[in-house]
Amino acid sequence: MNLDFKIKNLLLICLIFLGVFNQYYSQKPNNDGFKTGADRPEVYLPLLKNKTVGIVTNQTGLMSDKTYLVDFLVKNNIKIKAIFAPEHGFRGDADAGEKVKNGVDVKTGIPIVSLYGNNKKPKPEQLKGLDVVIFDIQDVGARFYTYISTLTYLMEAGAENNVEIMVLDRPNPHDGYTDGPVLKKKWSSFVGMHEVPVVYGLTIGEYGKMVNGEKWLKNGVQAKYTLIQMQSYHKKKRYAILDKPSPNLPNDKSINLYPSLCFFEGTQVSAGRGTDLPFQIYGSPWTKDMPYQFTPKPNFGAKDPFLNGKLCYGENLSNYPTDLRELNLEWVIKAYKNYKNPQQDFFLKNLWFDTLAGTDELRKQIVAGKSIKEIKASWKPDLDKFEKIRTKYVVYEN
């Protein structure tokens, strides 16, 4: 009887442990010896010895035990002179497009320099005295997500000021495939600097290699570029993300749908900012025939969300399969067809939609009533051309 009781207790402890374990690793456990660049200090610490370092990072710059890379480097006596904060800030709590302020990191006392707003590219005086700048940020793998632009400007400044750039690589949640229109140079902006498709199928480290190798930096300069590769990473596998990349991409579902739903940011339709389901729902007051209802309200991720306080009708995609391997145009076309507002066009007057698409062709195709099949067929020649460039810089297996 006593033995039975002990066995039952042991089983209960095992079940509790497994429950906690599974809850903690709910985003698929990482196995097969996988490690991010940040989790390979044996590779990069020797390269940083006796060097003065800057670091571009944010709340996603974590090691597998949830230690911030900055704290780990300080503990290992690496001399960090400056932290550079991209869009959303060092701690990742700024809205999209909100001004990120300069300051000091309370924990370490290291000065923080904003790389957003008017100072997207580090100035020579901000790089003065630095030997190397580390870049460690979780990217999303969509062209209009601005961290690849931050890396580009950093590499340009590094090349111009003889400062090495070291990228600690992380998984791309949209790796292993390419899709969407390829940007035309005329539409180049901070939400798309290069002639690449919306989904480009490279890790951020591979992307930096491509920018350098193709001489896409200003005046064709090339940075001294060091890539700390991940260990046992496969491009078609999906890996847990340790912290949300930005306030409105809180989970796998929003990240999964982001390349498809971000187009709504150039329309009179909300992509769910100001709700509990950002980039998992869409709707507007002028798509009344659609089934799902929501009202955007100010919250942590959106202090004044688009269509604030207005009842919106749309669709809830939060239960959509979380492994979307294509850019889905179905939703933006459906919203366009259901949109009934004689006062305002579906597309914003500033044609931000074209800036996000990297071309005016997609908007014109939607207006002309082209089918998804026709639109996607029109992307193919440019995607094939890009593929020839992309394959030169792939360092991981599928």
Cβ neighbours, 10 Å, residue 60 = 22
The pLDDT of residue 17? 38
The separation between CA 330 and the C-alpha centre of its own chain, rounded to angstroms, equals 22
The second-level CATH assignment, the architecture, of 37-241 is 3-Layer(aba) Sandwich (3.40)
pTM of the model: 0.89
Q: Are 66 and 136 in contact (CB under 8 A)?
A: no
Question: Taking 70 as the threshold, does the pLDDT of residue 101 lie above it?
Answer: no
Question: Taking 80 as the threshold, does the pLDDT of residue 80 lie above it?
Answer: yes
Per-residue pLDDT tens digits for 348-393: 999 999 999 999 999 999 999 999 999 999 999 999 999 999 999 9
The pLDDT of residue 143? 98
- Mean pLDDT for the stretch of residues 290-309: 96
The pLDDT of residue 104? 84
For residue 253 the two structure tokens come to 């579902």
Per-residue pLDDT tens digits for 207-237: 999 999 999 999 999 999 999 999 999 999 9
The pLDDT of residue 95? 66
Q: Average per-residue pLDDT in the chain?
A: 91
Q: Are 80 and 110 in contact (CB under 8 A)?
A: yes
**DSSP states along 62-116:** B-TTS-BHHHHHHHTT-EEEEEEE-TT-SSS-SPTTPPPPPEE-TTT--EEEE-S
- Mean pLDDT for the stretch of residues 169-180: 97
Q: Are 179 and 326 in contact (CB under 8 A)?
A: yes
Per-residue pLDDT tens digits for 1-25: 444 544 444 444 444 334 433 332 3
Give helix then strand counts, H and E, for the chain: 11, 12
pLDDT level of residue 106 (50, 70, 90 thresholds)? confident
Handedness of CA 251, 165, 71, 239 (dihedral sign): positive
Which residues in 151-182 are b (16+ Cβ under 10 Å) and which e? bbbbbbbbbbbebbbbbbbbbbbbbbbbbbbb
Per-residue pLDDT tens digits for 229-268: 999 999 999 998 889 999 899 999 999 999 999 999 999 9
**For the chain, which residues make up each domain, given as ranges?**
37-241, 252-367
